[in-house]
Structure 1
Amino acid sequence: MEKILILGASGALGEYILKECYSRNFKIRVLTHSNEGYQKVRSYTDDIWCANAQEDLTKIKGITKGVDYVISALGKSVSLFSPGPNSFFEIDYKANVNILQEAKENGVKRFFYISMKGAEEASEYTIPGIHKLMEDALKESGINYSIVRPVGFYSGLNDLVIMAKRKVIPLIGDGEARTNSIFHGDLANYIMTEFLNLPELKEVGGPQIHTRMEMAKMIQKKIGGEIIKIPKSIAKHGSKLPKLLQLDEISDKLAYFRYIMSNDMIAEEHGKMNFETYLDQIDTEDIK
Structure 2
Amino acid sequence: MKHTNVLLAGATGYLGSYLLKALEKNQKQVVAIVRNPDKLKNTNENYVEIKQAEVTKPKTLKDVCKGIDVVISTVGITRQKDGLTYMDVDYQANLNLLEEAKKQKVKRFIYVSAINGDKHRNLKIFEAKEKFVDALKASGLNYTVVRPNGFFSDMKDFLNMAKLGKVYLFGSGKQLLNPIHGEDLANKIVDLISEDIEEISIGGPDILSLDDISELALEALDKPIKIYHLPDWIRKFIIWFLRTFTSVKTYGPIEFFLTLMAEDNIAPSYGKQKLKNFFEKSSKL
Give TM-score scaled by structure 2 length: 0.90
Report the alpha carbon displacement of residue 234 of structure 1 after superposing the two structures with TM: 1.1
**CA distance in structure 2 between the partners assigned to 1:258 and 1:129 by the alignment:** 16
Deviates more, 1:38-47 or 1:173-182: 38-47
Which residue of structure 2 lines up, in the alignment, with residue 64 of structure 1? 65
Distance change (3 Å), C-alpha of 1:132 and 1:207: same
Correspondent of 2:113 among 93, 112, 115? 115
Q: CA RMSD in A?
A: 1.9
The 3-state SS of whatever aligns with 1:77 is coil
Deviations 1:212-249 (A, max 9, x none): 11101111112348533232211122123334443322
Contact kept, 8 Å, 2:70 with 2:193, in 1: the verdict is no
- The answer to whether 1:237 aligns with 2:237 is yes
Number of aligned residue pairs: 278
Which residue of structure 1 lines up, in the alignment, with residue 255 of structure 2? 255
Matched residue type, 2:97: I
Identity of aligned residues (%): 28
Correspondent of 1:171 among 152, 166, 169? 169
**CA distance in structure 2 between the partners assigned to 1:75 and 1:195 by the alignment:** 20
The 3-state SS of whatever aligns with 1:262 is coil
Report the alpha carbon displacement of residue 188 of structure 1 after superposing the two structures with TM: 0.7
- The answer to whether 1:13 aligns with 2:10 is no
Report the alpha carbon displacement of residue 96 of structure 1 after superposing the two structures with TM: 0.7
Contact kept, 8 Å, 1:111 with 1:143, in 2: the verdict is yes
Contact kept, 8 Å, 2:11 with 2:20, in 1: the verdict is yes
Contact kept, 8 Å, 2:220 with 2:283, in 1: the verdict is no
Which residue of structure 2 lines up, in the alignment, with residue 184 of structure 1? 182
The 3-state SS of whatever aligns with 2:138 is helix
Report the alpha carbon displacement of residue 283 of structure 1 after superposing the two structures with TM: 5.4
Report the alpha carbon displacement of residue 104 of structure 1 after superposing the two structures with TM: 0.1
**CA distance in structure 1 between the partners assigned to 2:164 and 2:35 by the alignment:** 33
The 3-state SS of whatever aligns with 2:7 is strand
The 3-state SS of whatever aligns with 1:47 is strand
Distance change (3 Å), C-alpha of 1:264 and 1:198: farther
Deviations 1:83-136 (A, max 9, x none): 522222222111111000000011111000111112111111112232211111
Deviates more, 1:42-51 or 1:172-181: 42-51
Report the alpha carbon displacement of residue 41 of structure 1 after superposing the two structures with TM: 4.1
Contact kept, 8 Å, 1:241 with 1:251, in 2: the verdict is no
**CA distance in structure 2 between the partners assigned to 1:228 and 1:147 by the alignment:** 37
Report the alpha carbon displacement of residue 21 of structure 1 after superposing the two structures with TM: 0.8
Matched residue type, 1:206: G
Alignment of 1:175-214 (within 5 A): 175-214=173-212
Task: Mark the runs of 5 or more structure 2 residues left unpaired by the alignment.
Answer: none
Which residue of structure 2 lines up, in the alignment, with residue 145 of structure 1? 143
Deviates more, 1:96-105 or 1:39-48: 39-48
Contact kept, 8 Å, 2:163 with 2:218, in 1: the verdict is no
**CA distance in structure 2 between the partners assigned to 1:26 and 1:118 by the alignment:** 30
Contact kept, 8 Å, 1:173 with 1:231, in 2: the verdict is yes
**CA distance in structure 2 between the partners assigned to 1:64 and 1:242 by the alignment:** 41
Contact kept, 8 Å, 1:118 with 1:128, in 2: the verdict is no
**CA distance in structure 2 between the partners assigned to 1:189 and 1:62 by the alignment:** 28
Contact kept, 8 Å, 1:175 with 1:261, in 2: the verdict is no
Give TM-score scaled by structure 1 length: 0.90
Distance change (3 Å), C-alpha of 1:194 and 1:84: same
Deviations 1:155-201 (A, max 9, x none): 11122222333444231211111011111100111121342214101
**CA distance in structure 2 between the partners assigned to 1:191 and 1:32 by the alignment:** 20
Moved >4 Å (runs of 4+): none
**CA distance in structure 1 between the partners assigned to 2:120 and 2:243 by the alignment:** 19
The 3-state SS of whatever aligns with 1:264 is coil
Contact kept, 8 Å, 2:78 with 2:125, in 1: the verdict is no
Task: Mark the runs of 5 or more structure 1 residues left unpaired by the alignment.
Answer: none
- The answer to whether 1:218 aligns with 2:196 is no
Matched residue type, 2:10: G
Which residue of structure 1 lines up, in the alignment, with residue 5 of structure 2? 3
**CA distance in structure 2 between the partners assigned to 1:40 and 1:242 by the alignment:** 36
